[in-house]
Amino acid sequence: MAADNIPPTNTHQTTDYFAKVAHEAVDRAAQHGAQAEERLRKTGDRYNEQSRQAIDWMTSYIQEHPYAALGWAVAGGFVLGRLLRSR
């Protein structure tokens, strides 16, 4: 209703009105906060699962191809060393 949005004229009504408005704002903020928390939790769970899958894949690759994994590690260390040395 339009009358609910008009501040009242006496002090008691004004206090009650602003308390009601403040409570509604806090309730909306809490609701939005809960929704954001849920989205972040789901996103974190998804990335956690993806990182577990990547670790499992790398572990199995290293076990199946230990010399190739060693070669990649040496090559990566060489490149990283060159990049850090140039600074």
Residues 3-36 have pLDDT tens digits of 566 655 677 788 888 888 888 888 898 898 889 9
* Verdict on whether the full-model pTM lies above 0.85: no
Residue 77 or residue 1, greater confidence: 77
User: Token pair 């972040």 is at which residue?
Assistant: 40
Largest CA distance in the chain: 84
CB 68 within 8 A of CB 60: no
Helix (H) or strand (E) holding 72, with range, is helix 66-85
25, 58, 72 from 53: Cα distances, Å? 42, 9, 20
